[in-house]
Amino acid sequence: MPAPFAVLALFGPTASGKSAVAHALALELGGEVVVADPFQRYRGLTVAADSPRDADRAEVRYHLVGDLDVTQASTAGDFAQRAHAAVDDILARGRVPIVAGGTGLYLRAATCDLDFPQAPDAGVRAWAEALVDADPATAANALLARDAAAHARVDLANPRRLVRALERAAVGEEHRGDPFAAPYRLPTLLVALNRPRPVLDELIARRVRRELDEGLVGELEAVLDTPGVAREPLQIIGASEVEAMRRGEIASDDLPERLSARTRRLARRQLQWLRRMPGAVEIDVGDAAAEDAVAAITARWRGGAAPG
């Protein structure tokens, strides 16, 4: 019996184990993984973005991983076009598209038809980036003057989001697609992995320690020193902390907790997205191995009982 769905989507907070589950599901179902993560698109951020390694990619085909240089800008609209093409190509070859990631907007962009505004011209982008770089408070006031609703909605502490909001306001365009209301392009099973907060916090701490052991600092220093590096890859957790450490503003001994704390905040925001995802089948993995959820998800995919 054919599966009642065309696309399997997997969402969850960072360190919850969704990447391992996506990989195991691809092996089980004959699938390929479309990664919904803006940072895994960048070559040179393998450790920082926890991108699939060579051994993983030898077993499973991954899409939208390492397709950009760190000097290139990335937008959700561009990602959406490429992700839709990848999903359609996977289906055309008789494989199962597994869209997986912890960035809610990117996961929705990959699975839904969102209405993204056209990219502004280079002059508008340069103006917005220069204003945010020079004085974020002035940039926020400029956004308020042009679009009060966007000012109230945007995370003003996030330079990338502030730049994008300024760009849209400057050209009089607004994102008209509600990412939570847009319908799926294709029949989609969305599974959301979750864990108790103490378990997730411990997994985050372990991940930070592992990344530091794998050379996170050196990797980020190389990116920071790349001539013409774009703003987008520098938004990854760790880039600003490593730069501050190089300036002597924080001690190296403080780096693990700084990174863990910022990652915990990210996980909280991801959980907020999870709770608003329409039609999500949530699985609490507890403190078990993430792969323990594979059998239940596979049963649901094939039309069996719902995951417990």
CATH code of the domain covering residue 284: 3.40.50.300
Is 287 found in the same domain as 198? yes
Alpha helices in the chain (DSSP H): 18-29, 54-59, 76-92, 104-111, 122-134, 136-146, 148-153, 159-170, 197-213, 216-224, 239-246, 255-276, 294-301
Mark whether 228 and 292 lie in a shared domain.
Answer: yes
pLDDT in tens, the chain (308 residues): 456 899 999 999 999 999 999 999 999 999 999 999 999 999 999 999 999 999 999 999 999 999 999 999 888 889 999 999 999 999 999 999 999 999 999 999 999 998 776 666 677 878 888 888 888 898 898 888 888 878 888 888 888 888 888 887 876 654 445 677 788 999 999 999 999 999 999 999 999 999 999 999 999 999 999 999 998 999 999 999 999 999 999 999 999 999 999 999 999 999 998 888 888 999 999 999 999 999 999 999 998 544 44
101 lies in some domain: yes
CA distances (Å), 218 to each of 45, 213, 221, 226, 239, in order? 11, 11, 5, 12, 11
User: 58 and 129 share a domain?
Assistant: no
**288 with 158, same domain?**
no
Q: CA 246, CA 241: separation in Å to the nearest integer?
A: 9
Number of folded domains that form the chain:
2
**Same-domain check for residues 31 and 74:** yes
β-partners of residue 273 are none
Residues 232 and 285 in one domain: yes
Claim to verify: residue 160 and residue 293 sit in the same structural domain: no
Do both 251 and 153 map to the same domain? no
- Cβ distance 166 to 142 under 8 Å? yes
Which of 170, 204, 232 terminates a domain? The answer is: 170
146 and 195 assigned to the same domain: no
Q: Is 253 inside a domain boundary?
A: yes
Are residue 111 and residue 212 in the same domain, yes or no?
yes
Are residue 157 and residue 217 in the same domain, yes or no? no
Q: Is 1 inside any structural domain? A: no
Looking at the domain assignment, is residue 180 inside a domain? no
Q: Is 193 contained in some domain? A: yes
Same domain? For 284 and 240 the reply is: yes
Task: Note whether residue 42 is domain-resident.
Answer: yes
**Interacting residues of 227 by C-beta distance below 8 A, sequence separation 6+:** 71
Structural domain contains residue 175? no
- Answer whether residue 264 is part of any domain: yes
d(CA 230, CA 235): 10
Predicted TM-score (pTM) of the model is 0.82
Please answer whether residues 32 and 57 qualify as being in contact, where contact means their C-beta atoms are separated by less than 8 angstroms.
no
Question: What range defines the domain where residue 36 resides?
Answer: 7-116+185-301
Residue 227: other Cβ atoms inside 10 A: 5
